[in-house]
Structures are given as structure tokens and as C-alpha cells.
């Protein structure tokens, strides 16, 4: 079997996305370290799947760039894109139903094993890698069944198993903990850690469960209002955050510029002025600018009142 290439570094740089009439991402920046497990958290509909679709070559962003080891995914030729995709094992949902990623003509065992076979693995190598994972994922009993013959929750585990045995340098798993039978959560966490440690794969995941993120991630990134608003190790970022309400209170701060609006996104894309709003502050404005401005105002107010109190006639 061919050896796996080294892990890949991912950079989202100023990624902006408008889908139909809806602004989804706005000048989003995120550096995903190679050889680590990164989990993106954020409320439903905030654009997590959209971000992954930009990365795996399914949907071009409206603006900005997505780089894989320094190469912009959306500047590659189609042949280069196909070759880049060959190093990515992805389970990405969104408008693509998960089931469509399985081969209906192959049984469950062959679906899990197909990437290994394509990489030239022998029957023994395929069995040694695939069988233990299928046992852990509760798929042994379905090995000879075809995808449409097994329950939907088991089909999701087939997809996860297929990605996690693939030995690819980049593994992208969308909504990994959604509709997941809790009996298999531990097995999936172990499999992700194992592929990351043994194969040094870069793993990028979107998830909803805070404990799942804590257990599996080296880094957590929080997506809110079209941007990554926080990024860091889970024990620091999620310290003291237990519930969804606590998570929302900590990260979903009220943005002085208001919610993401189409006029702002499109204004930014044209490079022109975004439509003006009452008391609009660009959220990209460095904090020290705002602090310097406030200090100036305070000094001015103090100076003018001191003049009145002490220096007046
Ligand atoms: N093809 C499309 N056309 C128009 N709008 C879309 C399209 N695909 C997604 N959207 C919208 O874009 C927004 C982001 O969707 P996305 O699926 O990326 O969110 P998400 O964070 O992954 O949500 P979830 O956690 O529920 O899977 C949503 O409001 C969704 O309705």
C-alpha cells in the first residue's frame, strides 16, 4: 500500500459567502494547524457546512481564499483540484444527503474498504484495518448488507468509518455528532484520535456537542455572525462552559455593527463603502484604535471641564 503523504495545513483567508440572497460568511479568517484535530462549533445555520464545502472543492466562496498547504483551492486547474481532493477524506452534508456518498452497488464492508483498495492495499491489509473499526462502530452485523438495507444512523457510521480508515492526510467530518447513537460516541472519538496520532492526519470537524469537542479537539474555533470569533485549546476556550446557554453568553456577543447583512457583505466584496447604518462600527477595527479614541475623548472632556472649574475667570 502507498504510504500516506504528510498532514496538510489549511488557511481560510477573508472568506466571504453569499448564498442566494443570504450572507453566510464575512471575511472569515482561520488557520487550521497541520497534524491536529480542530473542531468548529457554532449554532445551527451559521455556515459551518458551507465553510467545509469551500475547503473540499464543492462550493467556491464569493470572496477570499481557501489554501491547502499554501495553494488556493479555487485557483487550481480541474486536474489539480481532482488530485488535491484525492488526499481528502470528507463526510460533508449540507445540501448533499449523506447517503449519496455511499456506493449502492457495494456492501457495507466494501464501502468502508474502498479507499484502501484504491490505494493498493492487499486483502489482509484491508481486513486488518477495517474489521476492528467496523466492530467498534457496531457495523459488523451489517458487513454483507447494502447501504439501503441498513438504518440511516448506521449508514452515517459507515461513512465515518470509510473516512477514518482511509489513511488520508486530511479528514473532514461535518456534523460528526449529529444523530449519533451515544453508544458509539466513545468509539468515534477513539478512532479520530488514533488516525490523528498514528497517521498524523489533519482532522477538521464540525460538531454541536461541547463534551465531544472537549474530548477530541486540540483546537476549537467558534463561528458566529459570519466569522471565527474565538479560537484556542478547548480547556481554555470552554472552561466553565457546560450548557448551550453558557456557550451563547460567552461567544455570541452583540455586534455593534448588528447582524450580518447583505449590504455590508456585498459592499465589502465590491471594495466599496458598505451601506451606512446608525452607529456602525466595523467589527474588524483593531481594539486599540477604539481604546485610543476613547482616551482622546476622556482627555478632551477632562481638559475642558478642568478649564471651567480651575482655570475659569
Ligand atoms: N444552496 C443554498 N442556497 C441558499 N442558502 C443556503 C444554501 N445552502 C445553505 N444555505 C443557507 O446558508 C446558511 C448556512 O448553512 P450551513 O448548512 O452552512 O449551516 P450549518 O452551520 O452547517 O448548519 P447546521 O449546523 O444546522 O448543519 C443557512 O442559513 C442555510 O439556510
CB 100 within 8 A of CB 94: no
- Is the CA virtual torsion 110, 111, 113, 118 positive or negative? positive
Same domain, 150 and 97: yes
For residue 142, the model assigns a pLDDT of 96
DSSP 6: P
Residue 50 has pLDDT above 50, yes or no: yes
CA pair distance 102, 85, nearest whole angstrom: 17
* CA contacts within 13 A on the Cβ side of 127: 3
Is residue 3 a part of any domain in this protein?
Answer: no
259 to 37, 255, 276: CA distances (angstroms): 30, 7, 14
Span 50-71, average pLDDT: 92
Is residue 191 a part of any domain in this protein?
Answer: yes
Residue 45 CA to ligand 1 centre (angstroms): 5
For residue 177, the model assigns a pLDDT of 83
pLDDT-derived band at 7 (thresholds 50, 70, 90) equals low
Ligand 1 atom with the shortest distance to the CA of 52 = 18
Same domain, 295 and 156: no
Same domain, 118 and 139: yes
Same domain, 301 and 187: no
pTM, two decimal places: 0.80
Name the phi and psi angles at 171, rounded to 5.
Answer: -120, 125
Span 193-215, average pLDDT: 92
203 to 40, 206, 235: CA distances (angstroms): 11, 10, 18
261 to 28, 215, 227: CA distances (angstroms): 15, 35, 13
Is residue 152 a part of any domain in this protein?
Answer: yes
User: In the chain, which ranges are continuous DSSP H helix?
Assistant: 48-55, 78-85, 108-118, 123-136, 152-165, 185-199, 210-216, 234-237, 244-251, 262-270, 287-309
Ligand 1 atom with the shortest distance to the CA of 22 = 5
Residue 267 has pLDDT above 50, yes or no: no
Q: Is the CB of 47 under 6 A from ligand 1?
A: yes
Is residue 29 a part of any domain in this protein?
Answer: yes
Residue whose C-alpha cell reads 462552559 in the numeric block: 241
Q: Is the CB of 186 under 6 A from ligand 1?
A: no
Span 178-189, average pLDDT: 86
Q: Which three cell numbers stand for residue 5?
A: 503523504
CA pair distance 190, 239, nearest whole angstrom: 22
313 to 172, 306, 308, 310: CA distances (angstroms): 73, 12, 9, 9
Residue 229 CA to ligand 1 centre (angstroms): 19
Same domain, 81 and 24: yes
65-113, pLDDT tens digit by residue? 999 988 899 988 888 877 777 788 888 874 444 445 788 899 999 999 9
Residue 128 CA to ligand 1 centre (angstroms): 38
Q: Is the CB of 45 under 6 A from ligand 1?
A: yes
Q: Which three cell numbers stand for residue 173?
A: 467530518
Residue nearest to atom 26 of ligand 1 (CA): 44
Residue nearest to atom 10 of ligand 1 (CA): 19
Span 143-166, average pLDDT: 92
Taking the CA atoms of residue 28, residue 33, residue 38 and residue 43 in that order, the dihedral angle to the nearest 10 degrees is -10
pLDDT-derived band at 8 (thresholds 50, 70, 90) equals confident
Mean pLDDT of the chain: 83
CA pair distance 15, 64, nearest whole angstrom: 4
Q: Which of 15, 39, 46 to mutate to test the pocket of ligand 1 (most atoms within 8 A of CB)?
A: 46
Is residue 2 a part of any domain in this protein?
Answer: no
For residue 260, the model assigns a pLDDT of 53
For residue 225, what is the domain's CATH number? 3.40.50.300
Residue nearest to atom 16 of ligand 1 (CA): 47
pLDDT-derived band at 285 (thresholds 50, 70, 90) equals low
Q: Which three cell numbers stand for residue 88?
A: 481528502
Query: For the chain, what percentages of helix, strand and coil (3-state, to nearest 5) are there?
Result: 45, 20, 35
Same domain, 216 and 291: no
Name the helix (H) or strand (E) containing 13: strand 10-19
Is residue 198 a part of any domain in this protein?
Answer: yes
Q: Is the CB of 94 under 6 A from ligand 1?
A: yes
Same domain, 108 and 172: yes
Span 182-211, average pLDDT: 92
Residue 94 CA to ligand 1 centre (angstroms): 7
Residue 181 has pLDDT above 50, yes or no: yes
Structural domain that includes position 303: 283-313
Residue nearest to atom 6 of ligand 1 (CA): 19
Is residue 257 a part of any domain in this protein?
Answer: yes
Residue 299 has pLDDT above 90, yes or no: no
Q: Is the CB of 75 under 6 A from ligand 1?
A: no
Same domain, 251 and 214: yes
Q: Is the CB of 44 under 6 A from ligand 1?
A: yes
Residue nearest to atom 5 of ligand 1 (CA): 19
Same domain, 261 and 122: yes
Ligand 1 atom with the shortest distance to the CA of 42 = 21
Same domain, 210 and 293: no
Instruction: Using alpha carbons, select from 10, 14, 9 the residue that is nearest to residue 65.
Output: 14
Same domain, 84 and 203: yes
Span 273-286, average pLDDT: 42
Q: Among 7-11, 104-108, 165-169, 254-258, where is mean pLDDT lowest?
A: 254-258
Residue 47 CA to ligand 1 centre (angstroms): 6
Same domain, 188 and 134: yes
Number of domains comprising the chain? 2
For residue 221, the model assigns a pLDDT of 96
Amino acid at each position: 500500500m502507498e504510504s500516506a503523504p504528510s498532514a496538510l495545513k489549511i488557511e481560510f483567508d477573508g472568506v466571504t459567502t453569499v448564498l442566494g440572497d443570504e450572507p453566510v460568511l464575512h471575511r472569515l479568517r482561520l488557520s487550521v494547524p497541520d497534524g491536529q484535530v480542530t473542531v468548529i462549533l457554532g449554532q445551527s445555520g451559521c455556515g459551518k457546512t458551507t465553510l467545509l464545502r469551500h475547503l473540499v472543492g464543492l462550493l467556491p466562496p464569493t470572496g477570499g481564499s481557501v489554501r491547502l498547504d499554501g495553494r488556493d483551492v479555487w485557483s487550481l486547474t480541474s486536474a489539480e483540484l481532482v488530485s488535491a481532493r484525492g488526499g481528502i477524506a470528507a463526510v460533508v452534508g449540507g445540501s448533499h444527503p449523506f447517503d449519496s456518498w455511499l456506493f449502492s452497488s457495494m456492501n457495507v464492508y466494501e464501502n468502508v474498504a474502498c479507499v484502501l483498495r484504491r490505494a493498493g492495499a492487499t486483502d489482509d491489509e484491508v481486513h486488518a484495518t477495517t474489521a476492528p473499526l467496523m466492530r467498534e462502530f457496531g457495523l459488523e452485523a451489517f458487513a454483507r448488507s447494502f447501504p439501503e438495507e441498513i438504518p440511516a444512523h448506521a449508514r452515517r457510521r459507515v461513512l465515518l468509518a470509510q473516512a477514518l480508515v482511509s489513511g488520508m492526510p486530511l479528514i473532514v467530518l461535518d456534523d460528526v455528532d449529529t444523530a449519533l447513537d451515544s453508544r458509539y460516541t466513545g468509539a468515534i472519538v477513539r478512532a479520530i484520535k488514533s488516525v490523528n496520532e498514528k497517521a498524523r492526519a489533519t482532522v477538521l470537524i464540525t460538531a454541536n456537542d461541547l463534551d465531544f469537542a472537549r474530548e477530541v479537539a486540540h483546537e476549537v474555533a467558534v463561528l458566529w455572525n459570519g466569522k471565527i470569533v474565538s479560537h484556542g485549546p478547548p480547556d481554555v476556550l470552554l472552561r466553565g462552559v457546560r450548557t448551550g446557554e453558557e456557550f451563547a453568553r460567552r461567544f455570541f456577543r452583540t455586534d455593534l455593527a448588528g447582524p450580518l447583512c447583505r449590504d455590508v457583505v456585498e459592499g465589502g466584496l465590491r471594495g466599496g463603502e458598505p451601506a451606512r447604518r446608525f452607529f456602525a462600527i466595523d467589527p474588524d477595527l483593531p481594539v486599540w484604535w477604539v481604546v485610543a479614541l476613547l482616551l482622546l475623548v476622556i482627555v478632551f472632556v477632562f481638559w475642558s471641564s478642568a478649564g471651567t472649574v480651575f482655570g475659569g475667570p
